[in-house]
Amino acid sequence: MLSKKRPLPVLLSACLVCAVITACSAKTAEEKGAAMAGEKLDMATGIGNTLQQKGSRAGESIAGGVGVLIKGMEKGVMKSGRAIVVEPTLAMAGLKITRVQDSVDAQGAQPHSLDAYLVSDADVDGILQVSMFDALDREIGRASVRIARHANEAKYETVPLDVQVDRSAIRKLAFAFKQATSG
């Protein structure tokens, strides 16, 4: 039973205040979460709209820059939206990749392949191996091209892709070289 020192109305009032505070804080947290999510969506929409409006100017600016040099093992490798990894086997063979681009034929069509500008500092004969990776660094394709080059020779080498490989999904290319075996 309740003692006379704590009347029933005081206890009920205290319980009511606790219930209101608890309900308000849960609702407030829910409202805060919804407001934050709405704010992030509005921000993403704003960024998307700005990119659509100013994207062509940004593209012209990027194209004017002619590419960005990648730091790392091979200086002079050009980046055009894709990371390029050059395995040590290429340098040991006297080969360099200085640029990679989507292939374009004489009529301006884009066949399902990439062009790699290959510079040879020595006579080489073997297989150029290319592995392709997506934005999550998952391998999405491989290609191999037989090459035979003389020292001081440089030209584009076409790397055919499997038809299932989505060129727009390629975010990283890894190049390696395997010497031809005699016999």
Break the chain into its structural domains and give their ranges: 7-65, 68-179
Give the model's pLDDT for residue 104.
81
Closest alpha carbon to 117 in 143, 78, 75: 78
Closest alpha carbon to 135 in 169, 164, 180, 179: 169
CATH number of 68-179: 2.60.40
As a residue count, the chain comes to 183
Give the model's pLDDT for residue 177.
96
Q: Tokens at residue 22, please?
A: 């608890």
Q: What radius of gyration, in Å, describes the C-alpha atoms of the chain?
A: 30
Give the model's pLDDT for residue 144.
95
Give the model's pLDDT for residue 159.
93
Give the pairing type, strands 68-69 and 78-79.
Answer: antiparallel
Give the model's pLDDT for residue 53.
61
Give the model's pLDDT for residue 105.
76
Give the model's pLDDT for residue 62.
43
CA 150 to each of CA 26, 98, 122: distance values in angstroms, whole numbers, following the listed order: 73, 17, 6
| 183 residues of the chain, pLDDT tens digit each | 555 555 666 656 666 665 555 555 555 655 655 555 555 556 556 666 665 666 555 544 443 333 333 333 333 334 457 889 999 999 999 999 989 998 887 776 668 899 999 999 999 999 999 999 999 999 999 999 999 999 999 999 999 999 999 988 999 999 999 998 865
